[in-house]
């Protein structure tokens, strides 16, 4: 793994406040990877599929996904990502306020890698993000262009 | 439904019975009238016959006396055996005839008197004739003829005739009097019979009308029932679907609202924490400034240093409370959407398990819980039933009166197709004005000595209603509380809870 192959963090989150808090905590956990933030599903999917620096063309990515988006459901994005040959390699972390068991199970069934409930208790939230940092450190990013 | 226009079964039965009884009574009355009239007619005939007989006998007596007299006269003129015989025969039978008259008229004092008169006259006449005959037989015919001639102008026979005429008159008078009376009776009876007939007709008509109306009512009701039966299923389905739709909407609403409320709450909490962090460094700077250059620190800054943590503390505790409330709504909405699975629950075991799981708080409260076995078993959703009873027991343990040893009793019984369970404590009780309120979401009663959001009983009631059961409470402040849950014997899921 080299610096050029650093993992891009794609954050799909419609709430600016949440996005800011997530980013702060990611940074506080000592993770300095690039973060691309999208507030709606359409532009996020556009980036994921078509952007030259996006995960389908280039570097490895980690997707942080909120389930409640204004234009589509997060699970729709999850399903699309996980049904795409290239994109499905990117780990997806679902980060949402829903702690409904049915919803969680559905996300795991669709292939999400981690499901984190946004707790109102901020300390827990910060902890969860820090755990995410650990997760980021240990993920193995497959080489998109095998030698 | 025009139920007020219809006869109730009881009223109809009473009226019908009354009609029949009245009809029978009238028939009996009519029969009695007919019998009486017939008897009166017979009496009338009897009377006429009687009078005829008396008159007949009176005439007979006259005739006999006349014949005896003419026998005597003829004999006086020319004695002859045949004439003697006529005289003797009639003299012999005349008293017998008089006896018969006496017998026939013994009931009438006037006639009895007349008969006595007749008897006297008869005796005189007979004696007179006897004497004439005896004189003739002794060949003193001339004397006899002279005596006879002397007596003839005011003859006894004429007197007898007068008396019998009187008697005949009296008898005829009596007859017409009695006949008139009888005629009156008969006329009265006829009127009575007529009236009875009319009343019978009326009762018959009324009964007919009553039965007809009742039958019409019955037919209408039956038709309506038929229509209802046919429509019922559709109507029930339709309404159930409507209700379910409404319920689902409320559920979805609660779910979405609680979710969407959580999202800004995350921000409020998050940035409050950030603010706190920032404030910490600001306070450090201020502390340093106060130490090194106190002249630049103003009073306003000092106040801010104290006020900020306080404000942040309030924001924090409020958001935490809000989070708990939202979670409660979420929990209720989720509970409402859970699928219930009915199973036969051995309630003795279920309650024993709940009590065992609460051993620690029960011991801490120094309370005793008694389950009065056997409890009636119940078909229901295990989780829902467990939640209902553990909530009730939990409340009982939480709100005991510290002044006395806690005693909690659980008992149950089956009554008229329902299984009724009671959880009774001798705790601090609930004020009467809060008896309904305690079941409302976020509402609590009495001194707030225990943590909680006022969710437990709201949850219990939602579950109870969903199981088609009812819950109520009896409580006296300072004496204790009894919650009573009444389940239908058969399990039914009332759909999504409210």
Q: What's the confidence (pLDDT) of residue B262?
A: 81
Q: Are residues B313 and B419 part of one domain?
A: no
Q: Are residues B330 and B392 part of one domain?
A: no
Residues on chain B touching A18 (C-beta within 8 angstroms): 263, 266-267, 270
Q: CA B36, CA B45: separation in Å to the nearest integer?
A: 14
* Closest-CA distance of chain A to residue B267, Å: 6
A–B: how many Cβ contacts below 8 A?
Answer: 50
For testing the chain A interface, which of B251, B255, B260, B269 should be mutated: the one with the most A CBs within 10 Å?
B269
CB B266 to CB A121 under 8 A? Answer: no
CB B441 within 8 A of CB B454: yes
Residues on chain B touching A98 (C-beta within 8 angstroms): 259
* Closest-CA distance of chain A to residue B344, Å: 27
Nearest CA in chain B to A13: B263
For testing the chain B interface, which of A68, A69, A120, A128 should be mutated: the one with the most B CBs within 10 Å?
A120
For testing the chain A interface, which of B257, B266, B321 should be mutated: the one with the most A CBs within 10 Å?
B266
Nearest partner of B70 among B125, B20, B107, judged by Cα: B125
- The reply to whether B109 falls in a domain is yes
Range(s) of the domain holding residue B283: 241-336
* Exposure string for B425-460, b = 16+ CB within 10 A, e = fewer: bbbbbbeeebeeebbebeebbeeeeeeeebbbbbbb
DSSP A68: B
CB B263 to CB A97 under 8 A? Answer: yes
Nearest partner of B446 among B463, B432, B456, B460, judged by Cα: B432
CB A123 to CB B319 under 8 A? Answer: no
Q: Are residues B117 and B25 part of one domain?
A: yes
Q: Are residues B190 and B88 part of one domain?
A: yes
- The reply to whether B225 falls in a domain is no
- Pick out chain B residues at pLDDT < 70: 1-7, 152-154, 493-498
Residue B418's domain is classified under what CATH number? Answer: 3.30.565.10
Q: CA B163, CA B153: separation in Å to the nearest integer?
A: 17
CB B420 within 8 A of CB B388: no
For testing the chain A interface, which of B254, B256, B257, B263 should be mutated: the one with the most A CBs within 10 Å?
B263
Task: Please state, as a whole number, how many other Cβ atoms lie within 10 Å of the Cβ of residue A115.
Answer: 20
Q: Are residues B58 and B12 part of one domain?
A: yes
Going by pLDDT thresholds of 50, 70 and 90, the confidence category of residue A2 is very low
- The reply to whether B219 falls in a domain is no
Number of H helices, E strands in chain A: 5, 5
DSSP B480: E
Going by pLDDT thresholds of 50, 70 and 90, the confidence category of residue A38 is very high
- The reply to whether B232 falls in a domain is no
- Is the pLDDT score of A139 beyond 70? no
Nearest partner of A48 among A99, A86, A7, A97, judged by Cα: A86
* Closest-CA distance of chain B to residue A62, Å: 23
The closest CB to that of B266, out of A100, A120, A123, belongs to A120
Q: What's the confidence (pLDDT) of residue B4?
A: 46
CB A120 to CB B273 under 8 A? Answer: no
CB A98 within 8 A of CB A46: no
Q: CA A138, CA A69: separation in Å to the nearest integer?
A: 29
Q: Which residues of chain B approach chain A closer than 8 Å at the C-beta?
A: 259-260, 262-267, 269-274, 319-320, 323, 334
- The reply to whether B227 falls in a domain is no
CB B271 to CB A17 under 8 A? Answer: yes
- Is the pLDDT score of A52 beyond 80? no
Q: Are residues B466 and B435 part of one domain?
A: yes
CB B266 to CB A100 under 8 A? Answer: no
Q: What's the confidence (pLDDT) of residue A3?
A: 42
Residues on chain A touching B262 (C-beta within 8 angstroms): 97, 118, 120
Alpha-carbon Rg for chain A in angstroms: 14
CB B392 within 8 A of CB B438: no
Q: What's the confidence (pLDDT) of residue B1?
A: 42
Q: CA B182, CA B107: separation in Å to the nearest integer?
A: 18
pLDDT digits (tens, 9 = 90+) for B61-102: 888 888 888 888 888 888 788 888 888 888 888 888 888 888
Q: Are residues B245 and B125 part of one domain?
A: no
Q: Are residues B350 and B320 part of one domain?
A: no
CB B446 within 8 A of CB B430: yes
Q: Which of B283, B318, B336 is the last residue of a domain?
A: B336
* Closest-CA distance of chain B to residue A97, Å: 7
CB B47 within 8 A of CB B178: yes
- The reply to whether B63 falls in a domain is yes
CB B267 to CB A18 under 8 A? Answer: yes
Q: Are residues B427 and B330 part of one domain?
A: no
Q: What's the confidence (pLDDT) of residue B408?
A: 93
Q: Are residues B477 and B350 part of one domain?
A: yes
- Is the pLDDT score of A145 beyond 80? no
Residues on chain B touching A125 (C-beta within 8 angstroms): 266, 269-270
The closest CB to that of B270, out of A21, A97, A98, belongs to A21
Q: How many distinct structural domains can be found in chain B?
A: 3
Q: Are residues B116 and B33 part of one domain?
A: yes
């Amino acid at each position: 793994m080299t610096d050029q192959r650093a993992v891009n963090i794609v954050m799909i989150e419609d709430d600016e406040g949440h996005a800011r808090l997530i980013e702060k905590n990611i940074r506080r956990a000592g993770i300095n990877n690039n973060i691309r933030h999208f507030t709606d599903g359409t532009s996020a999917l556009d980036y994921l599929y078509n952007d030259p620096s996006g995960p389908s063309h280039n570097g490895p990515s980690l997707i942080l996904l909120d389930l409640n988006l204004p234009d589509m459901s997060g699970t729709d994005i999850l399903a699309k990502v996980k049904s795409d040959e290239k994109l499905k390699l990117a780990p997806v972390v679902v980060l949402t306020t829903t702690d409904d068991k049915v919803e969680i199970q559905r996300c795991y069934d669709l292939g999400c890698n981690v499901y984190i409930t946004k707790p109102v208790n901020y300390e827990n939230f910060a902890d969860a993000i820090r755990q995410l940092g650990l997760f980021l450190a240990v993920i193995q990013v497959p080489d998109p262009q095998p030698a | 439904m025009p139920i007020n226009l219809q006869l109730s079964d009881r009223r109809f039965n009473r009226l019908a019975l009354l009609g029949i009884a009245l009809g029978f009574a009238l028939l009996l009355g009519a029969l009695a009238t007919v019998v009486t009239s017939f008897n009166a007619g017979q009496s009338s005939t009897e009377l006429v016959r009687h009078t005829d007989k008396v008159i007949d006998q009176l005439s007979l007596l006259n005739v006999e006396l006349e014949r005896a007299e003419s026998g005597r006269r003829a004999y006086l003129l020319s004695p002859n055996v045949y004439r003697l015989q006529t005289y003797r025969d009639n003299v012999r039978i005349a008293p017998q005839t008089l006896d018969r008259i006496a017998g026939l008229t013994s009931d009438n004092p006037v006639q009895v008197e007349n008969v006595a008169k007749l008897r006297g006259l008869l005796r005189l006449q007979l004696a007179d004739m006897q004497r004439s005959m005896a004189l003739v037989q002794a060949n003193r015919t001339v004397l006899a003829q002279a005596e006879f001639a002397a007596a003839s102008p005011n003859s006894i026979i004429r007197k007898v005739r007068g008396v019998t005429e009187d008697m005949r008159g009296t008898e005829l008078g009596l007859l017409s009097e009695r006949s008139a009376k009888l005629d009156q009776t008969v006329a009265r009876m006829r009127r009575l019979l007529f009236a009875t007939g009319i009343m019978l007709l009326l009762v018959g008509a009324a009964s007919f009308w009553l039965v007809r109306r009742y039958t019409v009512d019955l037919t209408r009701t039956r038709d309506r029932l038929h229509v209802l039966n046919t429509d019922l299923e559709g109507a029930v389905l339709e309404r159930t679907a409507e209700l379910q739709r409404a319920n689902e909407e409320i559920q979805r609403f609660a779910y979405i609202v609680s979710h969407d409320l959580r999202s800004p709450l995350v921000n409020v909490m998050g940035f409050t924490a950030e603010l706190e962090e920032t404030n910490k460094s600001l306070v450090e700077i201020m502390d340093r400034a106060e130490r090194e250059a106190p002249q630049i620190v103003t009073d306003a800054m000092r106040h801010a240093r104290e006020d900020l943590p306080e404000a942040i503390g309030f924001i924090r505790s409020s958001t935490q409370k809000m989070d708990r409330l939202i979670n409660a709504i979420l929990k209720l909405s989720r509970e409402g959407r859970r699928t219930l699975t009915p199973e036969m629950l051995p309630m003795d075991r279920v309650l024993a398990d709940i009590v065992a799981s609460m051993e620690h708080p029960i011991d801490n409260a120094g309370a005793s819980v008694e389950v009065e076995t056997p409890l009636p078993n119940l078909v229901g959703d295990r989780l829902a039933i467990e939640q209902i009873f553990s909530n009730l027991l939990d409340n009982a343990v939480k709100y005991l009166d510290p002044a006395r040893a806690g005693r909690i009793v659980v008992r149950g019984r089956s009554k008229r197709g329902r299984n009724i369970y009671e959880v009774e404590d001798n705790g601090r009780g609930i004020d009467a004005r809060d008896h309904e309120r305690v079941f409302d979401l976020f509402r609590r009663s009495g001194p707030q000595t225990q943590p909680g959001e006022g969710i437990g009983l709201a949850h219990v009631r939602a579950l109870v209603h969903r199981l088609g059961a009812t819950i109520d409470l009896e409580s006296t402040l300072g004496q204790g509380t009894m919650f009573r849950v009444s389940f239908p014997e058969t399990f039914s899921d009332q759909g999504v809870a409210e």
